[in-house]
Amino acid sequence: MDSHDVQADLKHVLYTKEEIQQRVQELAAEIDRDYADRDVLIVGVLKGAVMVMADLARAMHSHVTMDWMAVSSYGSGTQSSGVVRILKDLETDLMGKHVLIVEDIIDSGLTLSWLKANLLSRGPASVEICTLLRKPEAAKVTIDVKYVGYDIPNEFVVGYGLDFAEKYRNLDFIGTLAPHVYE
């Protein structure tokens, strides 16, 4: 098999480019309404959230500042290790700020639950979460998430920022992997 044929690695498309763009616009409109009277700092969680952060920010009309954090709990596998490491911290002082964490996916919830507690300890005025995808059946902890793009089945997905062993992030759609890729 040609190892450069990305399509051959995919089982099916979950959300097309057009569907994702539409849903991100809707989330941006909702966030704009909720933050109409407040400036918001959106915090993208590297690397997975790069695509959704870029599209969401461009679809928003409110005053927005942006910062990035890198945490990792997955390494190269398909299971969360549960151990969250900060690889890159924020440059912004969160004191008194309205913070919106932007994520590509909530799977076990371990990353976000840890991250939300971490950011709350820095004295912000508020911390909310926006995630494009969430897997309700995979939840190991309960987290309050204000904005969710789609609830999806408990399958490993790639594309639009989401990787498997660092690949597939650049797809403009979201799909599931064929078993031969990870088995």
CA atoms within 13 A on the CB side of 181: 25
Query: Please, which residue, 47 or 98, has the CB nearer to ligand PRP?
Result: 47
Among residues 31, 157, 171, 174, which is the contact residue for ligand HPA, using CB under 6 A?
Answer: 157
CB burial readout 79-112, b (16+ within 10 A) else e: ebeeebeeeeebebebeebbbbbbbbbbbbbbbb
From CA 53, how far away is CA 30, in angstroms rounded? 15
User: Does residue 162 bind ligand HPA (CB under 6 A)?
Assistant: yes
* Adjacent-strand bridge partners of 45: 69
Select the binding partner of residue 106 from ligand HPA, Mg ion, ligand PRP, none (C-beta < 5 to 8 A, by kind). Answer: ligand PRP
Among residues 6, 66, 74, 169, which is the contact residue for Mg ion, using CB under 5 A?
Answer: 74
Count of C-beta atoms within a 10 Å radius of residue 180? 10
Residue 179 and residue 78 in contact, taking contact as beta carbons nearer than 8 Å: no
Q: Is 107 one of the annotated active-site residues of the chain? A: yes
User: Does residue 155 bind ligand PRP (CB under 6 A)?
Assistant: no
Q: Catalytic pick from 9, 55, 104, 107? A: 107
Among residues 51, 111, 149, 171, which is the contact residue for ligand PRP, using CB under 6 A?
Answer: 111
Residues that bind Mg ion (CB under 5 A): 74, 163
Active site residues: 107
Residues that bind ligand HPA (CB under 6 A): 74, 105, 107, 156-158, 162-163
